[in-house]
């Protein structure tokens, strides 16, 4: 099987996946999906922390003012 001038290895069920991966198409798709999942998880974590008051720096009990 010749694709783009290169001979692909003959491994029957994975030929299409191998070709997609080596041409970079799958790389972009996997990275896009991973970024979407990471962004969703980060957004949910931020909202969860904000709802629990963990993300409010103005009321941090570990912060002590020394200029009063």
Q: What is the pLDDT of residues 35-52, one digit of tens each?
A: 899 999 998 888 888 887
Say whether 32 sits in a helix, a strand or coil.
helix
Q: How far is CA 12 from the centre of its chain?
A: 30
Q: What is the mean pLDDT of residues 7-26?
A: 65
Whole-number Å distance between alpha carbons of 17 and 13: 8
Could you tell me the pLDDT band of residue 8, with boundaries at 50, 70 and 90? Answer: low
Whole-number Å distance between alpha carbons of 57 and 50: 10
**What pTM value is reported for the model?**
0.40
Q: Which residue has the higher pLDDT, 3 or 21?
A: 21
Closest CA to 2 of 15, 27, 17, 13: 15
What is the structure's pLDDT at 26? 67
């Amino acid at each position: 099987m010749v694709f783009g001038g290169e001979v692909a290895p003959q491994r029957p069920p994975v030929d299409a996946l191998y070709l997609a991966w080596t041409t970079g198409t799958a790389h972009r798709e996997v990275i896009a999906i991973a970024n979407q999942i990471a962004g969703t998880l980060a957004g949910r974590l931020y909202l969860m922390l904000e709802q629990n008051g963990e993300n409010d720096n103005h009321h941090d009990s570990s912060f002590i003012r020394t200029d009063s």
